[in-house]
Chain A
Amino acid sequence: MADQGGSQHGIARTSRVRTEDQKKRDLERIQKYRELEDQVRSYVSRGDYSASVFQLTSKLLRLNPEYYTIWNVRRRCLISGLFSRPSAGSSCSTACSNTSPTATTTPSSTSSSSSSSAATPRGPASQTAGRSGTTAEASSSGPEASEARGDSNCDAAAAAAAAAEQQDLSTIKTELSFTIPLLLESPKCYWIWSYRLWILQQAIQRLRSRVSRQIWEEELGLASKMLGKDRRNFHAWGYRRHVVAQLESATLQGGSMVEAEFAYTERMIHTDLSNFSAWHSRSKLIPRLLEERGADDAARRAFLEEELSKIREALNVGPEDQSLWYYHQFLVLNLVYPDKHPVMTRGLTTQDRIAYLTREIDEIKDLLEDYTDVQLIYEGLFEYTLYLCQLEGRQADAGERADLVAWLGKLKRLDPMRKGRWADVETELGLKEGRDAE
């Protein structure tokens, strides 16, 4: 499976022979670690998810943030005590049944089982029957509850709900702080990211939406911070997309952030032209961006021209950079396959698209004046020339054919690693040198 946790990356190979001192030190650490682990397991086996075991999970997770079961124990501690309890018996609570599938259940219902996975708070993905969690347990004392009760005669309940919210807010903030140093140390640990998102989900369920929103807004700062440290960290990019989607949602009374996110990709690209993660993100944001701008055909065309000119400038300084070429391909695909990628090219005639593509080919040819031995330039020329023929609904003419043969020759010479691919292309297009055109 594609789980990289626990594997060694980038750690220099050393002699695996340990000194006596190192062995002794290892044994001490093992003993301390296993004692801690035994303590947690002992609590869990008794179904005890009290503050005591919660404290122990903090210690253990600081030693080993990959230990997913301990993150789960921590979740169960929060659900079964540290978060405010559902206000059972309140006559007002029926007004606010929480329909979110992530509504949690109390794990104590299965506390007699040593099999911790038998305690079944439901994930958003699992609404199938057969779990021990019941909907009754999911009745909420959450934010909507207190709002619904605001003008009711349930003053006492409202006060209790406000106190509960304070308690939950404080717990959520503490949990978010707890994970920060762990994330900074292990920025690629899936379990920490996933736990943090679970805590944020709790904010949605337990706090009034404007309070919850403040919590979520701060997450953008974290995503930026993590991407500042590693611009390609796909965990952090994914986290950012998730946070943005939540902030845009009606649940958090949000609105579109597409302009801001587009501007963010601009800044990231400005910092590092080679950041394909940012270019990728840009390619995904464009459709919504143009839609929300209410862009007419002319505006879309202007937008396309601007993107083309931006990437062309980048290619002028970095023609060896795959990231740039991939984004250029994205734009060209928009020209060549308007049915599949209609966003930027809406309203362009075939002639328009041919003109744009021809211009790109000419610009790339200009690159050859400065760079004679860059494989990606020839690859671009080769591919785009075929696209041009395709758009014009014709075969390559004699001049183009000579070019294709020459460029393919360059590719074979400059890029022998992929000679199998060039051979396939050659056969497929009938470009074998010295062979008559078919």
Chain B
Amino acid sequence: MSQNFDQLPEELQLATSAHVKYIQSLDARKDEYDYWLTEHLRLNGLYWGLTSLHLLGHPDALPRAETIDFVLSCQHDSGGFGAAPGHDAHILSTVSAVQILAMVDAFDELETRGKGKAQVGKYIASLQNPETGTFAGDEWGEEDTRFLYGAFNALSLLGLLYLVDVEKAVNHIAACANFDGGYGVSPGAESHAGQIFTCVAALTIAGRQDLVDKERLGRWLSERQIAGGGLNGRPEKKEDVCYSWWVLSSLEMIGKTHWIDKDQLIAFILRCQDPERGGISDRPGDMVDVWHTVFGLAGLSLLQYPGLQAVDEVYCMPKSTTARVLGR
């Protein structure tokens, strides 16, 4: 791929300004029914949007002060965050809150105006199952390797990973491994690219990539690319832009990104963008949303598409953020 953006043919041009405007418009859609139906994803949505903007090189396109105010308004006394004010605390929104505060460099505001880092850490740690090491999403007990990864992600950003039993969690991930090198939602579950990302990223955070069968997993992951260049999440399923992240980041973590055709994947992701009104969809011609937008952009960033900021394959945040927060 050419390193010079201007020399790319039109179908390979990223509609950067349209994407920025699209993301900026997301909170101004209060006259649309879907805006209200998706309030349970508001904090996640802010994380997806903000990450997109950072990768697009427009980190200030959302107002910083309002962003911090909103994030803090979602916090409960327990330390956990809900999706929006009035929504219950859940690990998914708590991780988004931590990631957003990390990106806008506002952990100090969490100390002074929020409940403090320690309380967030305590909330997350309380969700670990002391017997199996995995994590629940909230007080009601649903367990999933997504939540385990979320816990490792947020706790490591906060410098509080020592609050949980890392070894037990690692053993749980090992128990989720399958013969094909992949990982499922829980022990016994089928390998799924989304869960592979969560498990491999959690193992990477824990410094335990030695447990990953990289050859076998790399092969399975590379076989996710199908005709047309897109990636699917499981054998014999349709392609979807979001797997440009789950599959690709996993390949990157195990050093096998070159096992797929990068140019074809770039072309596929770009075919999914709406060049006029911004945003990226699951497949060409479908409705866009911020979720596919961020994972499409993060995929393009891993593929070193010209002009995009580098993304951290473990955290799905700008590398500049993780470098600062983790002191790398």
Contacts and interface: CB of A to CB of B under 8 A. Distances in A.
B285 A13 contact: yes
A421 B189 contact: no
Interface stretch (A51-59, A118-126, A135-143, A396-404): A118-126
Nearest to B133: A125
A341 B180 CA distance: 13
A11 B240 CA distance: 13
A201 to B, nearest CB: 8
Interface string A94-119: 00000000100000000001011110
A284 B177 CA distance: 11
B37 interface: yes
Interface stretch (A303-311, A362-370, A412-420, A430-438): A412-420
Contacts of B223: 322, 418
A1 B222 contact: no
Nearest to A119: B139
B141 A126 contact: yes
Given A113-B77, A322-B235, A417-B225, A8 B140 contact: no
B143 A125 contact: yes
Query: Which of B127, B184, B190 counts the most chain A CB atoms within 10 A?
Result: B190
Contacts of B76: 115, 117-118
A421 B236 contact: no
A190 interface: yes
B130 A128 contact: yes
A3 B140 contact: no
Interface string A242-273: 00000000000000000000000000000000
B189 A237 contact: yes
Interface string B123-136: 00111111000111
Contacts of B197: 2
Contacts of B32: 26, 30
Contacts, number: 228
A29 B236 CA distance: 39
A68 B285 contact: no
A124 B129 contact: yes
B282 A8 contact: yes
B219 interface: yes
A238 B146 contact: no
Interface stretch (A157-165, A221-229, A289-297, A323-331): A323-331
A226 B146 CA distance: 23
A123 B138 contact: yes
Which DSSP category, helix, strand, loop or mixed, fits chain B's interface? loop
B128 A10 contact: no
Interface in B20-62: 31-33, 36-41, 44
- The main secondary structure of chain A at its interface with chain B is helix
Contacts of A10: 282-283, 286
B150 interface: yes
Contacts of B305: none
Interface string A37-57: 100010000000000000000
Nearest to B132: A125
A128 B125 CA distance: 9
Contacts of B194: 2
B120 interface: no
A232 B137 CA distance: 24
Interface string B246-274: 10000000001011110010000000001
B244 interface: no
A30 B36 contact: yes
Given A117-B78, A232-B237, A198 B140 contact: yes
A120 B150 CA distance: 21
Contacts of A9: 240, 282, 286
Contact of B190 (A4, A118, A127, A280): A280
Contact of B189 (A11, A115, A241, A329): A241
Nearest to B80: A117
B292 A7 contact: yes
A3 B173 CA distance: 19
Interface string B95-139: 110000000000000000000000000100111111000111111
Contacts of B198: 2
Contacts of A122: 139, 141
A130 interface: yes
A101 to B, nearest CB: 9
Interface string B56-100: 000000000000000000001110101100111110100110000
B287 A11 contact: yes
Given A117-B78, A117-B139, A126-B127, A238 B286 contact: no
Given A8-B286, A121-B139, A238 B185 contact: yes
Given A3-B92, A421-B222, A234 B235 contact: no
Nearest to A197: B142
Contacts of A37: 36
Contacts of B141: 102, 122-126, 198
A69 interface: yes
Given A117-B76, A417-B261, A64 B288 contact: no
A69 B82 CA distance: 9
B264 A126 contact: no
A72 interface: yes
Contacts of B168: none
A118 to B, nearest CB: 6
A125 B148 CA distance: 12
Nearest to A201: B141
A13 B80 contact: no
A234 B190 contact: yes
B259 A3 contact: no
B40 A13 contact: no
Contacts of B184: 234
6 contacts: A7-B292, A13-B274, A30-B32, A69-B83, A128-B126, A234-B234
Interface of A: 1-14, 16, 23, 26-27, 29-30, 33-34, 37, 41, 63-64, 66-69, 72, 75, 102, 113, 115-118, 120-128, 130-131, 190, 194, 197-198, 232, 234, 237-238, 241, 274, 276-277, 280-281, 283-284, 321-323, 326, 329-330, 333, 341, 416-421, 424
Given A283-B178, A418-B225, 8 more contacts: A1-B44, A3-B146, A12-B287, A75-B140, A238-B185, A241-B188, A322-B235, A420-B258
